[in-house]
Amino acid sequence: MATKSATAHAAKRKEPKAKGGKTKPAARLKKAARPAKAKVSAAGGREWCEAWQVRDKRFVELFGPATPKGGVLGPEGECSCAKARNNKELYVGQYGPRIGRVGWLYTTHGLSVQSVAGSTRKTRQELLLNWADRDAKIACQILKFFSQTMLDSGAPLTVGQLFPPEACTTLKSSGFAAWLVGPGGLPGIDRFADEPYGNVFLSLQGVTEAEYQFAQKVRADLADGRIVLLHALQLANVFPVSDVNRSCLTRRGDFNRIWENAFRIARELRAKAGQNPAQ
């Protein structure tokens, strides 16, 4: 009897009391297990983080402070700050207007160190989108689309590459029918160095249906219609800003003059490159 009583008494003493004398349920005594912190122990993880830090510093030098400060945007435009540098995913930097730059600038942050499909070869490219208004959601959607297109195809984007309307159906909400790839587009950032090798910036430019059709009508034996369109957008002071509220080039009173000058520039560039326009 004495043994049973002692055992019962010991068991009672082990049960913790909550306020008011009530016994706490055993299940509530256990603290929820915290998820383990991500460790960057592998060499690849360390390299990724180091490249991120160098690239992020370089981006601030080129574009100014990011918005939100020290953060980046996820694929859907959501804010994703400190954790991003440990995840090998596509992120976007958002930079506000500043002297010499119109509108908001969005750039991929880490695309240059992503591997293309079926290879360990890095893309060595970062994509820029100079959007007239602040719209993180649509900007991230556009950059995600072209980044994934590049990674899936295994081929880098090239200046003058023109994506037709049928290839951009998922981007209809952007307000543009087609998209054109251009050079870095901003002074001093055609190339940048965030690692031992140089990476290239490429700009994405929204194009109207009429502009796309005009480029298609250029005879290939005379000039590359895509390059003519690119220079026409530059001469018209449209490139590199994508503004859905701008007038279509074909509706401008000076369109013929702009197109003729762009056509001449494209032919001259082809001749310098050693390509005979008559071929």
Domain boundaries, the chain: 42-207, 209-279
Give the pLDDT confidence score for residue 29 in this predicted structure: 42
CA distances from 252 to 211, 228, 236, 249, 258 (A): 12, 17, 10, 5, 10
Q: Which of 250, 242, 185, 245 is nearest to 215 (CA)?
A: 250
Give the pLDDT confidence score for residue 186 in this predicted structure: 65
Q: Which residues of the chain have pLDDT under 50?
A: 1, 10-12, 15, 26-43, 194-196, 277-279
Q: Please, what sign has the CA dihedral across residues 125, 130, 131, 134? A: positive
What is residue 193's three-state secondary structure?
strand
* Distance of alpha carbon 258 from alpha carbon 249, whole angstroms: 9
pLDDT in tens, 184-208: 866 656 555 544 456 788 999 999 9
Q: How would you class 221 by CB atoms within 10 Å of its CB: exposed for 0-12, middle for 13-18, buried for 19 or more? A: exposed
Token digits for 143? Answer: 């950059």
pTM of the model: 0.77
